[in-house]
Structure 1
Amino acid sequence: MDKNSAAALYKKMQTEVEAYQGLQKSCVKVVKQRAMLESQLNENKCVLDELNLLGADNKVYKLFGPVLVKQELEDSRQNVGKRIEYISKELNSSNNTLESMEKDMHKHREAVSKYQQQWQVAAAMK
């Protein structure tokens, strides 16, 4: 293997490493986002559980800025249910994104490994 092909091989390996590192950083962001969504989902499920314990004679208030505004119980249940649905969809989306990123990371790891092996063979032949 001549000097130019060794340099080209090294450049390919470096490109794969950089792509892998970029995916790692993105992956960390998605994991943080997913954790936040899971927290919001659990919180909203607890709120819905509490709302389901209330009877028709109970009063429900919602905080709008600095003001508490009376709200119908059924409206509150529906709003929280819609929030749970939305958060669940976002959570599924982030899970799918993370799964796709992990597959891409695996491909880059394999490519780096392949280039490293080729590099070692070339170095041993010198």
Structure 2
Amino acid sequence: MVANDYQYILENMQKELETQAEKVGELTKERDNAGKKIGALEAQLSETKVVLDELELIGDDATIYKLLGPVLVKQERELALATIKNRKSHMETELKRCSQTVNDVSKKIAKEQDNLRDLHMKSQHVKQALMGAPQQ
């Protein structure tokens, strides 16, 4: 082999390493975004639970208003309860979905990091082999 062949092999290995590192980076961003969404959903769910608790405490004769844009609109207690329970259920489902996404992506990250480590080790072995090979 000539020096150009060695250089070509090293450049290709470097490109593979960079591509693999980018995969890990993209998956990490995906996991982080899902984590942020989980945080926002947990905050909304907490607020929804407080509203639900308050609605369950008040009597049937209480006046309830719903904020629609800049306007307060009178709403029946049962309709308000049904709406809040539905919202809570939707948020819990979405929270489970996001948590599963984080778990799935975390597994993918671990796999891709293993691949990156393997590629790195192989590239080190190739470099050592090329450094030790007699030059022609």
**TM-score, length basis structure 2:** 0.85
Answer with 1 or 2: which has the greater Rg: 2
* Structure 1 counterpart of 2:127: 123
Q: Does 1:64 align with 2:64?
A: no
Q: Is the 8 A contact 1:38 1:91 kept in 2?
A: yes
- Equivalent residues in 2 for 1:50-89 (5 A)? 50-89=54-93
Distance, in Å, in 2 between the alignment partners of 1:107 and 1:123 is 24
* Structure 2 counterpart of 1:111: 115
SS at match of 1:58: coil
Distance, in Å, in 2 between the alignment partners of 1:68 and 1:118 is 66
- The offset of 1:66, in angstroms, is 2.0
- The offset of 1:65, in angstroms, is 1.9
Number of aligned pairs? 126
Distance, in Å, in 1 between the alignment partners of 2:33 and 2:125 is 37
Root mean square deviation, CA, Å: 1.5
Distance, in Å, in 1 between the alignment partners of 2:111 and 2:6 is 27
Q: Is the 8 A contact 1:60 1:72 kept in 2?
A: yes
Distance, in Å, in 2 between the alignment partners of 1:51 and 1:4 is 70
Letter in 2 for 1:8: N
Structure 2: gaps spanning 5 or more residues: 132-136
Letter in 1 for 2:72: L
Q: Does 1:102 align with 2:106?
A: yes
- The offset of 1:42, in angstroms, is 0.8
**TM-score, length basis structure 1:** 0.91
Letter in 2 for 1:35: G
- The offset of 1:13, in angstroms, is 1.5
* Structure 1 counterpart of 2:53: 49
Q: Does 1:15 align with 2:19?
A: yes
Q: Is the 8 A contact 1:13 1:111 kept in 2?
A: no
